[in-house]
Amino acid sequence: MTNNTPHILVVDDELSMRELLEVLLNKEGYRVTCAENGRDAISMIKKTVFDLLLCDIRLGDITGIDVLKALRDENQDTVVIMISAYASTEAAVEAMNEGAYDFVPKPFNNEELKKTIKNALSLRTIEHEKEILDDELKKTLHFEKIVGNSPVMRNIYNLIRQVAKTKTSILITGESGTGKELIAKAIHDESKRKEKPFVVVNCGGIPETLMESELFGHKKGSFTGATQDKKGLFEAADKGTIFLDEIGELTLPIQVKLLRAVQERVFKPVGSNEDVSVDIRIISATNKKLEDEVIVGNFREDLFYRLNVIEIKMPPLRERKSDLRLLAQHFLEKYSREMEKEVTKMSSYAIDLLNKYDFPGNIRELENLMERSVALSSTNIILPDSLALSVHKRRWIEGVKNRRFDLDEVRNGVSLDTILEEIERAYLVKALECTNGKKQEAAELLDISFRTFRYRMTKLDI
């Protein structure tokens, strides 16, 4: 073992449990030190910095919570997992309030425990790297509102840094909800135009009859209702940046008029014979594949090439899952402040649930989910029980309810495992709904043990 091998302190007053954990963790390649009581553990903590503390809550002399507090008094960034045969929501909340990463009830599944430890150590590494990266970014770039430390996001940060100082037109592409406007604003804030206007135009939200007037302004009397001269958004953005969101929604006639403004930074207000010149940076965004729109004739090729000098592709959330915990925590803190609630952390099992979902609505959907979860949470920890995934669970159940099991299907061949899995999944989820997410009570409704219930939830990715 090298000095880089994670060092784990196991604290449990049962010799058999210490021996089991020591063998289990040694096989995984960890360095393991054991303590049989809380006082010995505290003494070790004062002498050695451990990467992870695996500690029983009920010890012979002092509690595991006391050990956890002593660790925090030493200002160590050791990640902590508490274990106990006396599982309860109250115990989990108390442990996590004191800074524990997670709470694992006994008897635990060995594979689940190993996965939890691996995730905890990975998070410790990621958070350390994020702190270093954040310090670097703060020196060079203003990314306060953009959350993400994945390789693809680091590449985007580097690209923003490179293009921000230029006047080049930029096209930001990506699915809805990926944060394209935040990227546009970051480019503006890092440019020499940061003290000048940043004007956002939602091209899909302005009626076609008003689009030309909104973009380029109009003269008094140029059409019914034009009672006075009005500046357009292009002129309002002079010396700054104009962000044309949903650019693919513009009609061909408007695209023709936009082309000259993009090419020459010159346009005529509606009803005017005089040109207006502006000094602006143009950033546009779309969730469409504009190349395909050009091919079918819905988007002008010359305008496409004028806008797409540099393209920044925003990845969907499913392709940057390593950022999910950071994003979820960011929104957790945001809505806790707004709702004046003390919801401070997420359990690893709640994060696991999020990781198993693809988020077709991307970051916008995650933000909505976290807002609802904070609103519905009855504790200051987001546990799986309080995670507002009821919409997705309901889709599941409805899908199984609507299925009609026809024994005649057997003649053509069926997958019995799949059918039985669907039934089992539906009953487990329904039991959770009936008990408001309380797994112990749900297990009792199904007349199975709590351990069996948890095993089946893991097996079926519930």
Please spell the DSSP secondary structure of 411-424, one letter per residue: GG---HHHHHHHHH
CATH, range 7-129 = 3.40.50.2300
| pLDDT tier, 10 (very low <50, low <70, confident <90, very high otherwise) | very high
Contact call for residues 343 and 332 (beta carbons, < 8 A) = yes
- The residue count of the chain comes to 462
**What count of other Cβ atoms lies within 10 Å of the Cβ of residue 226?**
15
Query: How many CA atoms are closer than 13 Å to the CA of 371, on its beta-carbon side?
Result: 7
| pLDDT tier, 386 (very low <50, low <70, confident <90, very high otherwise) | low
CATH 1.10.8.60 domain span(s) along the chain: 319-388
Top pLDDT among 354 and 198 is at 198
SS3 4: coil
* Mean pLDDT, rounded, of the chain: 84
- Residue 455: per-residue pLDDT: 74
Cα 187 to Cα 78: distance, rounded to the nearest angstrom: 37
Nearest Cα neighbor of 183 from 139, 134, 146, 140 is 146
- Residue 439: per-residue pLDDT: 84
Least confident of 84-98, 115-129, 297-311, 426-440: 84-98
Least confident of 130-144, 314-328, 423-437: 130-144
Residue 88 reports pLDDT greater than 70: no
| pLDDT tier, 419 (very low <50, low <70, confident <90, very high otherwise) | confident
What percent of the chain is predicted at pLDDT more than 90?
40
CATH 3.40.50.300 domain span(s) along the chain: 145-315
CA-angle at 105, arms to 51 and 75, nearest 5° = 30
Using CB atoms within 10 Å of the CB of residue 267, give its burial: 0 to 12 exposed, 13 to 18 middle, 19+ buried.
Answer: buried
Tokens standing for 66? 């006391």
**What would the mean pLDDT of 324-337 be, rounded to a whole number?**
89
Residue 196 reports pLDDT greater than 70: yes
Top pLDDT among 424 and 32 is at 32
| pLDDT tier, 297 (very low <50, low <70, confident <90, very high otherwise) | very high
CATH architecture assignment, domain 145-315 = 3-Layer(aba) Sandwich (3.40)
Residue 376 reports pLDDT greater than 50: yes
Residue 209 reports pLDDT greater than 60: yes
**What would the mean pLDDT of 296-319 be, rounded to a whole number?**
95
**What would the mean pLDDT of 146-150 be, rounded to a whole number?**
85
SS3 351: helix
319-388 belongs to CATH 3.40.50.1370: no
- Residue 99: per-residue pLDDT: 76
Residue 136 reports pLDDT greater than 60: no
Nearest Cα neighbor of 271 from 242, 310, 228, 240 is 228
Least confident of 100-114, 148-162, 175-189, 197-211: 100-114
**What would the mean pLDDT of 301-328 be, rounded to a whole number?**
93
Q: Report in angstroms the alpha-carbon separations of 382 from 68, 253, 350, 363.
A: 20, 51, 7, 18
Say what the pTM is. 0.62
Least confident of 59-63, 129-133, 175-179, 296-300: 129-133
Contact call for residues 291 and 313 (beta carbons, < 8 A) = no
- Residue 98: per-residue pLDDT: 75
**What would the mean pLDDT of 147-165 be, rounded to a whole number?**
89
Nearest Cα neighbor of 328 from 374, 380, 361 is 374
| pLDDT tier, 384 (very low <50, low <70, confident <90, very high otherwise) | low
CATH 3.40.50.2300 domain span(s) along the chain: 7-129
| pLDDT tier, 282 (very low <50, low <70, confident <90, very high otherwise) | very high
**What count of other Cβ atoms lies within 10 Å of the Cβ of residue 250?**
25
Residue 413 reports pLDDT greater than 50: yes
Least confident of 120-124, 298-302, 320-324, 412-416: 412-416
**What would the mean pLDDT of 222-232 be, rounded to a whole number?**
83
- Residue 142: per-residue pLDDT: 47
- Residue 41: per-residue pLDDT: 92
DSSP 183: H
Cα 189 to Cα 186: distance, rounded to the nearest angstrom: 5
CATH 1.10.10.60 domain span(s) along the chain: 389-462
- Residue 180: per-residue pLDDT: 95
CATH number of the domain at 389-462, out of 3.20.20.60, 1.10.110.30, 1.10.10.60, 3.30.390.10? 1.10.10.60
